[in-house]
Structure 1
Amino acid sequence: MQHPHPPRHRTRGHRLLGGIRRWATAAAGALALTAGLAAAGPQASAASLTQVTGFGTNPGNLSMYAYVPDHLPTGAPLVVALHGCTQSASDYSSHSGWPKFADSQRFALVFPQTSSANNANSCFNWFEAGDSGRGHGEALSIRQMVDKAITQYGSDPRRVYITGLSAGGGMTANLLAAYPDVFAGGSIASGLPARCAEDLTAAYTCMYSPPDRTPAQWGDLVRSAAPAGTTSWPRVAIWQGTADTTVRPANATELRDQWTNVWGLGQTPSRTRSLTGGTTLTSYDDASGRPAVQVYSISGMAHGLAVDPGSGAEQCGTSGTYYLDTICSSLHTARFWGLDGDGGGDGGTGVLPAPTGLTVTAATDSSVGLRWNAVSGAASYRVFRDGAKVAITTSTTYTDTGLATGTAYGYTVAAVDSSGATGATGAAVTATTTGFTPTCHTASNYAHTTAGRAYASGGYTYAKGSDQAMGLWNTFTTHTLQQTSPGHYVLADSGCPA
């Protein structure tokens, strides 16, 4: 992102900052909270992306754009997507890949847009308390867009999600904290912890060297922003490149600490596995075994949104400035939210009860066998692995194949009635494949902690499992770690066996 210029004067009473902040504004021109996310590329057509007006009092002076697939049924999910600095709704729509999945998985998209009238670099003002808190400024404008979309498109108010890149990611975190009663899930790409900053100077600190607060301190910032008595929280995905020099990878660790604490979870992963594009996925499950927080760490990726151009089922988006060809983050985020399971990821919208008796019947190096009790009235069953739908079957047994060796997976099952409505999701079981293939990872201490291979304590880094000291927790100290068993890493700087 471009460095977060302070907001410009606008009719709702914001004033230009003076003195030291004028100096900081000039310095900020060389910096980047979305590091100048001025992406060149194809623009979405007017027929695809439509401006919507009359969505409320709009105290944040934002514009609303929507992408709504033809013949979208009532009760479909809604996804709100926030662009980065110097970007626009059209730019983000055409590069991010979200419209592809809105079409295939049937949900509506809203793209809020800010402008240079609000901020010199067209950043969402995530670092301004008057714009990022509940009932105020830009945050309230986005809340009003959600209300408009629910009314106009018949979206399901229980299945509203929000995602954002860089400054949009920072605003996403703040909105998840301020409106946990509105958003069922969020995805923060190259972003910042909720309420990390409330002025321009603190914004730079968060970007380059975020405060090393305890999980409880980070969690308290969310709890204090939410309505009193909140007990239900959004499920949060965190996307971060290990080579990001604009929003440092330590932010992903602090985000992980913040949202696992909000959920009442520890910081020890439920499981870690490898995805395409050099991506490591670390999951933190709730009491039912469903992922509540997931961290996607992309080895060697700089600042930007992860896309994977191409026509394949798991590809999306177009590459450009700060749209980086690695992995389709929109697909994996949609899966995490359960959008590919007709609501199955959120417990379903049908009336059938959850299947009982889910058990693991077998496990090999690459497969897991499952069995569960039949549900009266079920026409089929949806099987979910780590929150993502992997199969639809009419049987009460299923064998999941093509899995990694020595890896733990979480499974749930939901019944589907004859109309196609998915019922409640049953209790989760964990299955671990047999065998183990050692792997080696060379990265900075920040990257190792973000990927779940190490942990930070008192400013120092230690290998997960072996607890070997790795030195200072920063982006300058590099080590090679060998994973010798699930969740266990040892230093291997002198050489790592193939």
Structure 2
Amino acid sequence: MAAMCMSPCLLLPSAMPPRAAITKGSTVSATAGTLARRPLRAVLVALNALLVALLAAGFLAAPQASAREEAAPTATLTEITNFGTNPSNLQMYLYVPESVTENPAIVVAVHYCTGSGPAMYSGTEYASLADQYGFIVVYPSVTRSSKCFDVASPQALRRGGGSDPVGIKSMVDWTVDAYDADTSRIFATGISSGAMMTNVLLGDYPDVFAAGAAFSGVPFGCFATTDGSEWNSACAQGTVTRTAQEWGDIARAAYPGYTGPRPRMQVWHGTEDDVLRYPNFGEEIKQWTNVRGVSQTPAATDTPQSGWTRTRYGGTGDQAPVEAISLQGVGHNLYAWGMAARVLTFFGLDSDGPAPQPPAGPCKVSVTTNAWSTGLTASVTITNTGTSTLSGWQLGFTLPTGQTITNGWNATYAPGSGAVTATNASYNATLAPNASVSIGYQATHTGNSAAPGAFTLNGTACTTG
């Protein structure tokens, strides 16, 4: 890459004669090599004009000091055009929080069939979590009539093949360049068609994505077709089964010769999924445990929530190589508010502490706790210190490590640990100026019984005390 001038500067072409060569009565060589004798005054006037032109060009070529601020407005969904190679005419939408960190992480959030980037933005909480943790969210959006991502064509199933994955990779590259993003912290997540694309992205670009989270998807290559069809009925019905080695080989074939590290994968599936049937869940586990080179026997199994079974492979912690969550009795539309916080835990984006928060808004929160050996209760008072009535509220906070909410009152809480959102009950949704509401919860702990240290109300930071 050519050197860039980081402040207004002058770049002189190599054909410019050295200053020492300009003397009274001398001749000046033209850049074309033609000799022209001119009076000294005329020469100086010509040189001055050339310098002015070059100086103007230098100003025009210099990057703006506030390039990050100009890349996209903060705290709003913005469509980015001309982001790079885009063979299938995808649209790119970007969310940059006001509190974006230096060298931020990137989360690519991929929509479902019939969906769009804006629908994914409004229907999931990745943007609000970005406000809390300072990462950037990219929302790809399909323009073809089906509004489904291409996860079936031969072009989609190989690196640089010329379909949707190429456009999404361009979106990532654009964001990395614009915000000096951390290339070791780029992640993908998606729902249904977006879950299938998450599998595809991790197969095509294992050197780009550190991890993925797929809600109601299928393995990489399961939907493959050669006749131009976007739909593979056998895969959707769960009748495509292969060995772990076969699935792993299919994923590895997308980038022949690559020997570097492979992404971690989190998969979610409902046992009653009637669109992409439940056997696909097991096939995904086969594929990604093989890709990661770990045993198909779980290293840990637990029940993080009623009706859920979570298995971890190759490790027992929150960032195991493969994590799988099965939801008993749940259909295809399993994604629910609160699940994105668990995705961030798997990605490791909630472990570095929150990004600097915006100035405290018109709200105040006070909290007291009463703890015993393995449990605690917390009483929380929320006061509207603003001038406008709130018609519905959500209180956000992060529980200390080791705490899990087991029940609560005067609000609903999701998820039970990590980044929690408390949502109003029907009877206390209205909060007038200077009015307060009291809520509370009971939680278990493993030694740290402290209260949360920071709160947001409807996404705005509150004062505490």
Which TM class, normalised by the smaller chain length? Answer: 0.5 to 0.7
| Structure 1 position 178 matched with structure 2 position 221 | no
Aligned to 1:294, what secondary structure does the other structure show? strand
Query: Deviation digits for residues 171-226 of structure 1, max 9, x if unmatched?
Result: 11011001000000001110110011321387111111242211111111111112
- The two structures have a TM-score, normalised by structure 1, of 0.55
Q: Who is 1:69 aligned against? A: 97
Q: Who is 2:259 aligned against? A: 230
Deviation (angstroms), 1:278: 2.3
CA distance in 1, matches of 2:403, 2:168: 42
Query: Deviation digits for residues 322-368 of structure 1, max 9, x if unmatched?
Result: xxxxxx22110110110001299xxxxxxxxxxxxxxxxxxxx979x
CA distance in 1, matches of 2:336, 2:297: 28
Query: Would the aligned equivalents of 2:74 and 2:98 in 1 still touch at CA under 8 Å?
Result: no
Deviation (angstroms), 1:403: 11
Aligned to 1:92, what secondary structure does the other structure show? helix
Residue in structure 1 matching 2:170, options 134, 144, 158: 144
Deviation (angstroms), 1:227: 4.3
Pairwise mapping of residues 71-470 of structure 1 onto structure 2 (< 5 A)?
Answer: 71-115=99-143, 118=144, 120-135=145-160, 136-199=162-225, 200=229, 203-276=232-305, 278-286=307-315, 290-308=319-337, 328-342=338-352, 391=400, 400=402
Deviation (angstroms), 1:134: 1.1
1:126 aligned partner, one-letter code: V
Query: Deviation digits for residues 407-447 of structure 1, max 9, x if unmatched?
Result: xxxxxxxxxxxxxxxxxxxxxxxxxx9xxxxxxxxxxxxxx
Q: 1:306 to 1:227 in 2, by over 3 A?
A: same
Query: Would the aligned equivalents of 1:60 and 1:139 in 2 still touch at CA under 8 Å?
Result: no
2:248 aligned partner, one-letter code: G
Alignment gaps of 5+ in structure 2:
1-72, 355-372, 376-397, 407-445, 447-465
Aligned to 1:275, what secondary structure does the other structure show? coil
Deviation (angstroms), 1:261: 0.8
| Structure 1 position 51 matched with structure 2 position 63 | no
Query: Deviation digits for residues 233-292 of structure 1, max 9, x if unmatched?
Result: 111000111111101011110000100011111111111111225222111125999501
1:206 aligned partner, one-letter code: C
1:299 aligned partner, one-letter code: Q
CA distance in 1, matches of 2:156, 2:146: 16
Query: Would the aligned equivalents of 2:275 and 2:332 in 1 still touch at CA under 8 Å?
Result: yes
2:194 aligned partner, one-letter code: G
Query: Would the aligned equivalents of 1:79 and 1:161 in 2 still touch at CA under 8 Å?
Result: yes
Deviation (angstroms), 1:229: 3.2
Following TM superposition, the consecutive aligned residue runs of length 4 or more in structure 1 with deviations greater than 4 angstroms are: 286-290, 389-392, 400-404
Query: Would the aligned equivalents of 1:263 and 1:286 in 2 still touch at CA under 8 Å?
Result: no
Query: Would the aligned equivalents of 1:132 and 1:138 in 2 still touch at CA under 8 Å?
Result: no
CA distance in 1, matches of 2:157, 2:277: 21
Query: Deviation digits for residues 58-92 of structure 1, max 9, x if unmatched?
Result: 11210000011014122111000110111111111
Query: Would the aligned equivalents of 2:150 and 2:230 in 1 still touch at CA under 8 Å?
Result: no
Query: Would the aligned equivalents of 1:178 and 1:227 in 2 still touch at CA under 8 Å?
Result: no
Aligned to 2:253, what secondary structure does the other structure show? helix
CA distance in 2, matches of 1:48, 1:204: 39
1:262 aligned partner, one-letter code: V
CA distance in 2, matches of 1:287, 1:189: 21
1:232 aligned partner, one-letter code: P
CA distance in 2, matches of 1:69, 1:149: 13
Aligned to 1:129, what secondary structure does the other structure show? coil
Aligned to 1:144, what secondary structure does the other structure show? helix
CA distance in 2, matches of 1:133, 1:269: 30
Q: 1:105 to 1:274 in 2, by over 3 A?
A: same
CA distance in 1, matches of 2:92, 2:403: 43
CA distance in 1, matches of 2:244, 2:399: 33
Deviation (angstroms), 1:104: 0.9
CA distance in 2, matches of 1:51, 1:246: 31
Query: Would the aligned equivalents of 2:295 and 2:314 in 1 still touch at CA under 8 Å?
Result: no
1:246 aligned partner, one-letter code: V
Alignment gaps of 5+ in structure 1:
1-44, 309-327, 345-364, 368-388, 393-399, 405-432, 434-498
Aligned to 1:134, what secondary structure does the other structure show? coil
CA distance in 2, matches of 1:283, 1:227: 28
> Could you say which structure has the larger radius of gyration?
2
Deviation (angstroms), 1:57: 2.3
Q: 1:279 to 1:366 in 2, by over 3 A?
A: farther
Query: Deviation digits for residues 124-158 of structure 1, max 9, x if unmatched?
Result: 01111223421121110000000001111221111
Q: 1:51 to 1:289 in 2, by over 3 A?
A: closer
1:63 aligned partner, one-letter code: Q
Q: Who is 1:12 aligned against? A: none
